[in-house]
Each structure stands twice: as C-alpha cells, then as structure tokens.
Amino acid sequence: MPQWRQGLTKSLHQTRNMPESRYFQLATVDSDGVPHCRTVVFRGITDDNQLIVISDTRSEKFAQLGQKPNAQACWYFSKTREQYRFSCIATLITAVQDADLVSHQWNKLSDAGKKQFLWGEPGTPRQDSSALQVEGDFDQVPSHFCTILFKIEGVDYLNLRGNPQNREWHQKDENGNWVCQSLIP
C-alpha cells in the first residue's frame, strides 16, 4: 500500500465521526479550458487506488470529464489539518460498461440519495416544487446514474500541524512503484 494511502486511511479513520470528511473538491475543465470546481462525496477507493464518485450522465461534470479526463481533487481534513491534492485521470462508467459496479453503487445509496437521481435534469430551471417530484423506482438503476473512477497519478500531501509544516510529493517511478519526495511547504 502506498505511503499516501496509508496516510489517507489514517486521516479518514481519525475523522470518521465528522460528516464533512466524506467530501472533497473536484476540479475539471470544460472544452474552452475554463475551470469548474465542485464538492463531491467520497464513495470509496479501489484496490488499485482509484477514488470512487457517483454522478449523473446529464451533469456538466460528466460532460467535462468525457472531453478532458484530467482532474484534480483537493481534500482537507480540518481535525488533523491535512490536505491531499490528487492529480487524476477519470474513467466514466455507465451501466453499459459495468452494470455490476454501477448497480452496487446505486444499492449503497439511501432512499434520499436515490431520490436526487429521480427528479429533473441537473442544472435545468426549477419553476416550482413539482420539478422535484420523484419519477422512477428506487429498485431500478436510472440509465443516467454512473460511477466515476479517478486514477491517481500524483499526490501532493500537506500537513499543517507543527513548525515547520510537512509537505510530500508522491508519484510512480518508471517501474510503477510509488515514491515519496519531501518538499518545502
């Protein structure tokens, strides 16, 4: 297990009672190169160190990552005063590509979480409360529900505790092994 992942696992464990520790900021760029940043929910990490996020194929995020899969995730843990910045490559996965993975992520959602995928299209005008009426069955995965895997290419870790602070850059070497370099904060 890479050193950065050991640290992330520890950070998640130390902040497990803090709901905000399940959220990180995700930055993408659109086709014009304009950056877009939003908060997403951490849904897990794969055995091969890919961050898992769910999304809607009708969202701007999905379109942006479909055009330019490079992204950056920034995750700050206020309790431990640690920041992880992940340089990533996104893989968009619909039920057509991997029905089991998408279905598994859908089934992990609460009914309240599923409801958000069963009302109107993200980003469209909301005229009244009828726009949020649920249309669909909680047992059926909507065709627009998807999973996004973020393959981590590099990790910039910063620990703000102490003086001096600690910063590290983690990346894979030519053999695919993770190496760590201490940096000036």
Alpha helices in 81-144 (DSSP H): 99-108, 111-115
pLDDT digits (tens, 9 = 90+) for 49-93: 999 999 999 999 999 999 999 999 999 999 999 999 999 999 999
- Any idea which residue has 């304009």 for tokens? 34
Q: State the Cα–Cα distance between residues 82 and 3, nearest whole angstrom.
A: 14
Q: What is the DSSP letter of 43?
A: -
- The residue ranges of DSSP E strands in 78-177, in sequence order, are 82-93, 145-159, 166-172
Per-residue pLDDT at 6 exceeds 90: yes
Residue 123 has pLDDT above 90, yes or no: no
3-96+143-183 belongs to CATH 1.10.10.60: no
Q: Domains of the chain: which residue ranges?
A: 3-96+143-183
Distance, CA of 7 to chain centre: 17
| pLDDT at residue 120, rounded to an integer | 79
* Both structure tokens of 109: 């959602």
pLDDT digits (tens, 9 = 90+) for 11-21: 999 999 999 99
Banded pLDDT at 9 (limits 50, 70, 90): very high
- 87-115 pLDDT per residue, tens: 999 999 999 999 999 999 999 999 989 99
Angle value at C-alpha 151, between 1 and 161, nearest 5 degrees: 60
